[in-house]
Structure 1
Amino acid sequence: MSVDRQTVTVDRSDAVATVRLNRPEHRNGITAAMMTDLYGTLRDLADDETVRVVVLRGTGADFCPGADIKHYASGAGGGGRSSPREFEISVLLHEMPAVTIAAVSGACAGAGLGWACACDLRIASETARFNSAFLDVGVAGDMGGPWTLPRIVGAAKARELYFLPGKFEAAEALRIGLVSRVSPADRFDADVAALAERLGRAAPLAIRAMKANFLAAERLGFSDYIALETEKHGRLFQSEDTKEAFRAFVEKRPAVFRGR
């Protein structure tokens, strides 16, 4: 299944939805229209219980270099002012029930970096180049980077990357923990697909509960989190999927999950 908006496309394969930023002639630079399209797309996917994995990537060579500066300088983007909806994109990527993957090739900077950091997982092509870039264009940052990035690479490194913007390559992103793996350019698409498909085959109830557990852990104290986790574990343990997983393990066969 394929669904297209003007600046964003969606391809669906079973439980996996691949969202592509679709302005390749501008390296997928962000415009007001892209904000609207991406928000609507992610909102729809967040509400679809059959979607278990969302891959965010760019059409063409680049992921997203941040705002299309020429677009905003012309006044077309409201003079650079950000609306609450724009920031909600990062919230959707971080909090939707599906596992989100940023598949990064080429440029990943500014708000594009913020979107990548909002995802659960990040995988990079060897062509990927990262940069916070905000101070270079006289802004303090957006898309939640100062909240997400310290949780990924640590507070000190996150501050360094923001206060001292500069390009760094995929190998450095892997070294500091910003991405979990780097693929050769000629294997990148296959590696992204394999990762998404693996997650898409996971037990539906369990993977949604695991995502919810990580979100709960961000806002709860340890003892409160353990209480919540224990309650969820008890309910999930009684599910048909968990019983099927146990049987499949004993019988040495792939489990067949039904989401109940």
Structure 2
Amino acid sequence: MVNMAEYDDYETLLVKRDGPILEVVLNLPETRNAITYPMEAEIWRVGKEASDDPNVKVITLTGAGDLFCSGHDLKEVAAGYASEGKPSGKPYRIPGLFPLWYCTKPIVAGVHKYVGPMGQDLLSHCDFVISAEGTRFSFEQARFGGGVLTYSPLVFQLPMRVWKKMVMTGGWFDEQDARRWDFVQRVVPREDLESTVRQWAEQIALVPMQQLIAGKQGIHRQYELMGLVNMATVQNVVSGHGDPEDKKFFEMVMSDGLREALKFRQEGVDSDIAKI
């Protein structure tokens, strides 16, 4: 059994259990909740601990500060790509689905303002998503390379041409598009986001735990049989990484700062065409 004290031992997340609900908050607001490798490891860890904790029936996931998640920490990635051609500090991982996919407890995410590529991948491992009005879901990193999330369940969760637009041209969509495609289940005013996420979690907690676990695991096994695991093992063998423009972007992140690098990425972009 996991006790309450163990949920206090996190550096990049705020984790608190309130009855049967485990509240998890991405807590790097000073860097717009950019996902670092340490944060990634803590996300997978909290999923494992929640799965093992009989007191937890449902997990909520939100982001502290102005937005949900800007994506992967580009400065962390750039430090390696500019010099070595690979992410700096990236831990070795056997190719496959991210561990959060195997978390047995339902996860309800609440997102606001902006969700970058790695943030969308994180959502693809959640069971339900509530979005605040005015949220932008972006894969604009594709404009400088950056690879493709070949290991992500997103391929099953977004329409094919939407996914192509995202990873081939660096597209983005808004919360109304996400609702139309059932990528999110509700769109609410920003001030109602946390309370709505909580209401969903409370309703889910009324269901017997074994029904929740059996339902989630059964559906996940079905998608694995349809090929999700095989796609995940491909990882980034087919990747945009290594292109000269890719390296140039990361070198600019290191020399001129992220803001200037992002301006470079946006040069010549037609925002109307970029939108899905």
Query: What is the TM-score with the length of structure 2 in the denominator?
Result: 0.70
1:47-83 deviation line (CA, Å, top 9, x unaligned): 223322112221112111111212332349x951543
Aligned position for 1:54: 59
1:1-260 alignment to 2 at 5 Å?
Answer: 3-75=8-80, 79-80=86-87, 82-85=90-93, 91-142=98-149, 144-145=151-152, 148-220=153-225
For residues 86 and 56 of structure 1, the distance between their equivalents in structure 2, rounded to whole angstroms, comes to 26
Structure 1 alignment gaps of length 5 or more = 222-260
TM-superposed deviation, 1:92? 3.0
Structure 2 SS opposite 1:50: coil
Structure 2 alignment gaps of length 5 or more = 227-276
Q: Percent identity?
A: 26
1:114-158 deviation line (CA, Å, top 9, x unaligned): 11112111111113210123413421134833xx12322233322
Does the CA-based 8 Å contact 2:71-2:118 persist in structure 1? yes
The alpha-carbon distance between structure 1 residues 212 and 40, as it changes in their structure 2 partners (threshold 3 A), is: closer
TM-superposed deviation, 1:177? 2.2
For residues 101 and 56 of structure 2, the distance between their equivalents in structure 1, rounded to whole angstroms, comes to 15
Does the CA-based 8 Å contact 1:86-1:143 persist in structure 2? no
1:190-234 deviation line (CA, Å, top 9, x unaligned): 10100011111211111111112212222448xxxxxxxxxxxxx
Counting matched residue pairs gives: 218
Structure 2 SS opposite 1:40: helix
Structure 2 SS opposite 1:140: coil
Structure 2 SS opposite 1:74: helix
Query: What is the TM-score with the length of structure 1 in the denominator?
Result: 0.74
For residues 19 and 57 of structure 1, the distance between their equivalents in structure 2, rounded to whole angstroms, comes to 7
TM-superposed deviation, 1:84? 4.7
What is the alpha-carbon root mean square deviation over aligned residues? 2.6
Does the CA-based 8 Å contact 2:58-2:106 persist in structure 1? yes
Does the CA-based 8 Å contact 1:111-1:141 persist in structure 2? no
1:148-176 deviation line (CA, Å, top 9, x unaligned): 12322233322222222233221121122
For residues 67 and 219 of structure 1, the distance between their equivalents in structure 2, rounded to whole angstroms, comes to 25
Structure 2 SS opposite 1:194: helix
